[in-house]
A and B are shown apart, each in its own frame.
Chain A
Amino acid sequence: MEYMMTTPAVIVQGVSKTFVLRHNPVASFKGRFIGVFNRRWRQRLEPFQALDDVSFSVNRGEAIGLLGANGSGKSTLLQIIAGIIPPTGGQVQTFGRIAPLIELGVGFHPELTGEENIYLNASLYGFQNREIRPRFTDIVEFSELQDFIDIPVKNYSSGMYMRLGFSIAVHLQPDILLADEILAVGDASFQSKCQQKIAQMQSHGMTLILVSHSMAQVQQFCSRYVRLDHGRVVESGKT
């Protein structure tokens, strides 16, 4: 298992991200015209540095927690690692299949049944239907939705919805899991099942990047952490 710890899975090098904040967005002629006379109608653009020269790397099979208060740039960093938005500076290298778990059940269509949504959701992560067919039973069993899998998800309770979303994501067997706060859903017994599943995946070499503001949650899954504050790395170490 020694080689696992030395093979990099994610390398983040000097990543910066600047957003343009649009205060008071005005698009119409009317708004622009009034803006000439009235300050309150004037649009103001302000660059906002969400991430500033962030560097760290995660080896294969390792788990790292991204800590920080609201607005410290954790989620932006996750989006950049997932390849959803590009950085303004620096670069991110990833090795293996990434599954961003930023929101559970994103891409579910309310009118479609649980079964149809499993295939649709997996294909949004880049899976073929024939790759999902053999895992279908496992996904349903894990989510404990056997009796509800053929009804539209609009009739699901919020717990059922999240259980299905979580079950799909973990059964895709990603090499790198990017989780935004969500590693356990549902009631106490289901939560402990989620935790066991994550631990099992980690023991099989899955790399985990977990965004959280709770050190306790990070300690549970991660051996290392990086703390962000206003887009900068202010602290890092072992949990």
Chain B
Amino acid sequence: MTVTATDAGSPQAPTKGTFARLWGYRDLVKNLVAKDIKVRYMGATLGFAWSLGNPLILFATYFLVFTYIFPSHTPHYALYLITGILHWNLFATNTAQSSEMLVGNAGLMKKLAFPRVFIPLANLLVNVVLWLAAMCVYGLLYPWLGGPWSWALLAYPAYMILYLAFLFGLSLTLAVLYVDFRDLKHIVEVMLMVLFWASPVVYPLKLVPARFLCFYKLNPLTQAIVCFDKLLYSGQMPSLKLTAGFALWTVAALSVGLYLLHRRGPRLIERL
């Protein structure tokens, strides 16, 4: 291994050696994920079942409000709502945790030289595991809630991978920026609240007045959630334009995140 001063200023492009090094740490990711899940539900009688509690209660609350208080006329509203909430929850949980990823693990990072990228990656994977548990229940309820069986379902995993890459890029970006800009966590907290209502999670996009639609188009979450609604709720393929927009956001988030971590990561450790 060679460490030079230029590593910090103008990092070399990742080489084959970089990937070999990352691959060598693969069990670190596995162990971190196992640790996190184990520790999170340790001592709780219901244990892992709690991962279902949060989306379930959220769903029940909104379902009651939008059935009895502001009745929603969306057909199969329960399916629409739960599709939105499950995907939103994955985004919200991961994003809320991401600012702390570098700062919160300062002790570890100052004393060991493992690749930093695995801390946010392991965190995302923990959230994915919990989300998958909820998705299993969703899968069982799907026909009963009126979910359409269509070929579009086959494309769902591909869109999900795009979505996860987007979340990962975003979490890297937030983690790096938070080191120097500690207001970020508070901004993210507030923005998540705004974004929940500013994305078509509990209501479909077609209810949004035309003059507000331009704001929705700027919101990457709208594109993601509309894609998932098309695939899982309407049983259609998302349009090419929609897919391209979503992919563009993903590429942007991922490149900004990886660039920031690669470029600024090494110098950040000493300031944590």
Give min CB distance, B2 to chain A, whole Å. 5
Q: Which residues of A contact B110 (CB under 8 A)?
A: 79, 84, 102
Inter-chain contact B108/A89, CB cutoff 8 Å:
no
Inter-chain contact A100/B31, CB cutoff 8 Å:
no
Report how far A79 CA is from B113 CA in the complex, Å.
9
Q: Is B111 at the interface (CB under 8 A from chain A)?
A: yes
Inter-chain contact B111/A106, CB cutoff 8 Å:
yes
Q: Is B96 at the interface (CB under 8 A from chain A)?
A: no
Report how far A143 CA is from B95 CA in the complex, Å.
40
- A-B pair count, CB < 8 Å, reads 101
Q: Which residues of A contact B27 (CB under 8 A)?
A: 119, 123, 127-129
Q: Is A32 at the interface (CB under 8 A from chain B)?
A: no
Q: Which of A39-71 contact B (CB under 8 A)?
A: none
Q: Could you mark each residue 16-48 of chain A with 1 if its beta carbon is under 8 Å from any beta carbon of chain B, else 0?
A: 100100000001000000000000000000000
A120-B25 contact, Cβ under 8 Å, with A27-B182, A83-B1, A86-B5: no
Inter-chain contact A106/B112, CB cutoff 8 Å:
yes
For A81, A84, A100, A125, the residue with the greatest tally of chain B CB atoms inside 10 Å of its CB is A84
Inter-chain contact A124/B5, CB cutoff 8 Å:
no
Q: Which residues of A contact B113 (CB under 8 A)?
A: 82-84, 98, 100
Give min CB distance, B221 to chain A, whole Å. 29
* Cβ-neighbour of B4 out of A91, A120, A124 (below 8 A): A91
Report how far A84 CA is from B35 CA in the complex, Å.
24
Q: Is A220 at the interface (CB under 8 A from chain B)?
A: no
Report how far A51 CA is from B270 CA in the complex, Å.
14
Inter-chain contact B1/A19, CB cutoff 8 Å:
no
Report how far A226 CA is from B114 CA in the complex, Å.
28
Report how far A112 CA is from B5 CA in the complex, Å.
38
Q: Is B186 at the interface (CB under 8 A from chain A)?
A: no
- Which residue of the partner chain B has the closest CB to A13? B4
Report how far A167 CA is from B27 CA in the complex, Å.
20
Give min CB distance, A213 to chain B, whole Å. 19
Number of A positions contacting B (CB below 8 A): 38
Report how far A197 CA is from B94 CA in the complex, Å.
44
Report how far A107 CA is from B119 CA in the complex, Å.
12
A93-B1 contact, Cβ under 8 Å, with A19-B270, A86-B266: yes
Q: Could you mark each residue 80-109 of chain A with 1 if its beta carbon is under 8 Å from any beta carbon of chain B, else 0?
A: 111111111111111000101011001101
Q: Could you mark each residue 110-141 of chain A with 1 if its beta carbon is under 8 Å from any beta carbon of chain B, else 0?
A: 01100010011001111111000000000000
* Cβ-neighbour of B269 out of A84, A87, A88, A93 (below 8 A): A84
User: By DSSP majority rule, is chain B's interface helix, strand, loop, or mixed?
Assistant: helix
Q: Is B192 at the interface (CB under 8 A from chain A)?
A: no
Report how far A98 CA is from B270 CA in the complex, Å.
20
Q: Could you mark each residue 1-44 of chain B with 1 if its beta carbon is under 8 Å from any beta carbon of chain A, else 0?
A: 11111011000000000000000111110111001001100100
Report how far A21 CA is from B35 CA in the complex, Å.
36
A106-B108 contact, Cβ under 8 Å, with A87-B5, A119-B31: yes
Q: Could you mark each residue 107-131 of chain B with 1 if its beta carbon is under 8 Å from any beta carbon of chain A, else 0?
A: 1111111100000000000000000
Q: Which residues of A contact B5 (CB under 8 A)?
A: 16, 86-91
Inter-chain contact A107/B182, CB cutoff 8 Å:
no
Inter-chain contact B1/A109, CB cutoff 8 Å:
no
Report how far A16 CA is from B109 CA in the complex, Å.
21
Inter-chain contact A124/B28, CB cutoff 8 Å:
yes
Give min CB distance, A187 to chain B, whole Å. 25
Inter-chain contact A126/B35, CB cutoff 8 Å:
no
Inter-chain contact A126/B31, CB cutoff 8 Å:
no
Q: Which residues of A contact B217 (CB under 8 A)?
A: none
Inter-chain contact B2/A91, CB cutoff 8 Å:
yes
Report how far A128 CA is from B8 CA in the complex, Å.
29
Inter-chain contact B26/A128, CB cutoff 8 Å:
yes
Q: Which residues of B contact A85 (CB under 8 A)?
A: 266-267, 269-270
Inter-chain contact B108/A107, CB cutoff 8 Å:
yes
Inter-chain contact B2/A126, CB cutoff 8 Å:
no
Report how far A81 CA is from B4 CA in the complex, Å.
10
A124-B114 contact, Cβ under 8 Å, with A84-B269, A87-B3, A94-B1: yes
Report how far A46 CA is from B26 CA in the complex, Å.
40
Q: Which residues of A contact B1 (CB under 8 A)?
A: 83, 93-94, 98
Report how far A52 CA is from B24 CA in the complex, Å.
34
18 contacts between A and B (CB under 8 A): A80-B3, A85-B269, A86-B3, A86-B7, A86-B266, A87-B3, A94-B1, A100-B111, A100-B113, A102-B112, A106-B107, A112-B35, A119-B27, A120-B32, A123-B27, A123-B30, A123-B31, A128-B24
Name A's B-contacting residues (CB within 8 A): 16, 19, 27, 79-94, 98, 100, 102-103, 106-107, 109, 111-112, 116, 119-120, 123-129
